Structure 1
Amino acid sequence: MMKQFNMRSGHICTFILSFGVLLTSCSDFLDETPDNRVDLDNLEKASQLLTNAYSTASYAFTDWMSDNVGWTRGTNLRPSHLEMYAWEDVTTGPTEFDTPDFYWFNTYNAIAHANEVLAILDELPANTDEEKERKDAIESEALLTRAYGHFMLVNLFAEHTSNGTESEPGIPYVKTPETTFIGTYERESIRRVYREIEDDLLDGLELVNDNFFSNSGKYHFNRNAALAFASRFYLFRGDFVRCLDYSNRLLGTDPSSFIKDLTSTEFRNASSSIQAYPQLYTSPDLPSNLLLMRKESLVQRTDFSFGPNESFYGSLFGTQPFPETTDERENPAFVKGDNALFPVRYQSLFERNSLNSNVGTPYHIAVAFTGEEVLLNKIESNIALNNLNEAIVDLQLFVERRYSGAAPVVTLERLRSFFGEDGNPSFTDQLVLLNYILLERRKEFIAQGLRWFDIKRYGFAVSHTLQDEISTIRLSADDPRKVLQIPQSAVDVGGLEPNPR
Structure 2
Amino acid sequence: MKRLIFLGMFLLLAFASCKKFLDAKSNQSQAIPETLPDLQALLDQYQHINYADGNAAEVSTDDIYLTDADLAARTENERNMYTWQRSNIFLQDSNEWFYNYRAINRTNVVLESIRKIDRNAGNAFEWDNVSGQAYYLRAKNHLRGLYVWGNAYDEQSGSELGVPLKLSADFNEPSTRATVEAGYAQVISDLKRAAAALPIKAVHVMRPSRPAAFALLARTYWSMRRYELSLLYADSCLLLKSDLLDYNLLNASAAYPIGQFNAEVLQDSYFTSPVLNNARGKINPSLYALYDANDLRRTIFFNDNKNGTFGFKGSYEGNSNFFSGLAVNEVLLIRSESLARAGKLLEALSDLNRLLRNRYRKNTFIEKSGADQKEVLDMVLLERRKELLLRGLRWVDVKRLNREGAGISFSRSVKGTVYSLKANSSAFALPIPERVIEIAGLEQNL
TM-score by length of 1: 0.77
% identical equivalent positions: 21
Structure 2: unaligned runs, 5 residues or longer: 20-24
Equivalent AA in structure 2 for residue 23 of structure 1: M
CA distance in 1, matches of 2:318, 2:267: 19
C-alpha change, 1:489 and 1:398, in structure 2 (3 Å) is same
SS at match of 2:221: helix
Contact 1:327 1:402 in 2 (8 A): yes
Contact 2:92 2:434 in 1 (8 A): no
The residue aligned with 2:286 is: 312
- For residues 100-249 of structure 1, the aligned pairs below 5 Å read 102-127=95-120, 129-180=121-172, 183-210=173-200, 213-214=202-203, 217-249=204-236
CA distance in 2, matches of 1:437, 1:229: 19
Aligned residues: 423
**How far did residue 87 of structure 1 move?**
0.9
**How far did residue 92 of structure 1 move?**
5.3
Contact 2:287 2:386 in 1 (8 A): no
Equivalent AA in structure 2 for residue 476 of structure 1: K
The residue aligned with 1:271 is: 252
- For residues 324-339 of structure 1, the aligned pairs below 5 Å read 326-332=294-300, 333-335=302-304
The residue aligned with 2:313 is: 344
Structure 1: unaligned runs, 5 residues or longer: 1-16, 319-324, 350-362, 414-428
Equivalent AA in structure 2 for residue 56 of structure 1: Y
Cα RMSD of the aligned pairs, angstroms, is 3.0
CA distance in 2, matches of 1:70, 1:494: 34
Work out whether 1:69 is the aligned partner of 2:12: no
CA distance in 2, matches of 1:379, 1:152: 23
CA distance in 2, matches of 1:486, 1:108: 13
- 1:453-495 residue CA offsets vs partner (Å, 9 max, x unmatched): 1111011432323134x65332111211111111112211111
CA distance in 1, matches of 2:229, 2:346: 19
**How far did residue 382 of structure 1 move?**
1.0
Which of structures 1 and 2 has the bigger CA Rg? Answer: 1
Q: Specify which of 392, 397, 405 is matched with residue 354 of structure 2.
A: 397
C-alpha change, 1:490 and 1:367, in structure 2 (3 Å) is closer
CA distance in 2, matches of 1:165, 1:152: 19
C-alpha change, 1:366 and 1:155, in structure 2 (3 Å) is same
CA distance in 1, matches of 2:231, 2:11: 47
- 1:70-108 residue CA offsets vs partner (Å, 9 max, x unmatched): 342553433223212211135155478xxxx72211011
**How far did residue 297 of structure 1 move?**
4.2
SS at match of 1:473: strand
The residue aligned with 1:358 is: none
Q: Specify which of 458, 465, 471 is matched with residue 412 of structure 2.
A: 465
C-alpha change, 1:396 and 1:335, in structure 2 (3 Å) is closer
**How far did residue 339 of structure 1 move?**
5.8
**How far did residue 450 of structure 1 move?**
1.2
The residue aligned with 1:290 is: 266
C-alpha change, 1:236 and 1:48, in structure 2 (3 Å) is same
SS at match of 1:274: coil
- 1:139-164 residue CA offsets vs partner (Å, 9 max, x unmatched): 11111111111011112101110122
Contact 1:227 1:246 in 2 (8 A): yes
CA distance in 2, matches of 1:467, 1:300: 17
Q: Specify which of 84, 93, 109 is matched with residue 81 of structure 2.
A: 84
TM-score by length of 2: 0.85
